[in-house]
Amino acid sequence: MMRTGTSKTVQAYITAAPAPARKMLKELRAAVRSVAPRATEKISYGIPYYDYFGRLTYFAAFKNHVSLYVMGGAKKAYAQELKKYQTSMATLRFPIGSRVPVALVKKVVRFRVKENESARGKKR
């Protein structure tokens, strides 16, 4: 993982990322912000993090890929669409230089927004 211990903002993290990952990180950021405009943007565990009634999503740059974290129930809901991408328990990976599937990222994040809103409603 690209650790930028000095990055205090998401913009600083993206700026410090290797050039091949920057465009992809910018696309992930724009996708998250477009469907979760009320989410708070932070750095957590040294990587970009979005908080909206709890953990919404993270993303990070690696040597060979960028990752989107915290898929929650979206992994099951979009299993068919996610098949073509490398995934793990809560991670979706995109090889460096590949196209970020922005529409799919938006679906996953939108699903997470609804999950977090629903979970918040149950806590009342």
Domain harbouring 19, CATH code: 3.90.1150.200
Among 59, 64, 65, 1, which Cα is nearest to 26's? 59
Q: What is the pTM of this model?
A: 0.90
Note the pLDDT of residue 90: 84
More confidently predicted of 121 and 113: 113
Residue 105 has pLDDT above 90, yes or no: yes
Is residue 97 situated within a structural domain? yes
Going by C-alpha positions, the residue among 53, 37, 44, 48 that lies closest to residue 114 is 53
| Rounded average pLDDT over 4-20 | 86
CA-based nearest residue to 114, from 43, 39, 42? 39
Segment 91-111 shows an average pLDDT of: 94
The reply to whether 90 falls in a domain is: yes
5 in a structural domain: no
Residue 113 falls within a domain, yes or no?
A: yes
Mean pLDDT for 30-47 is 96
Q: Does 124 fall in a domain?
A: no
- How many domains does the chain divide into? 1
Q: Which residues have C-beta within 8 Å of that of residue 124, sequence separation ≥ 6?
A: none
In a domain, 57, yes or no: yes
Tell me, yes or no, whether 122 lies in a domain. no
Note down the domain range covering 101.
Answer: 10-117
Strands 55-61 and 40-44: unpaired
Locate 110 and state its tokens.
């939108």
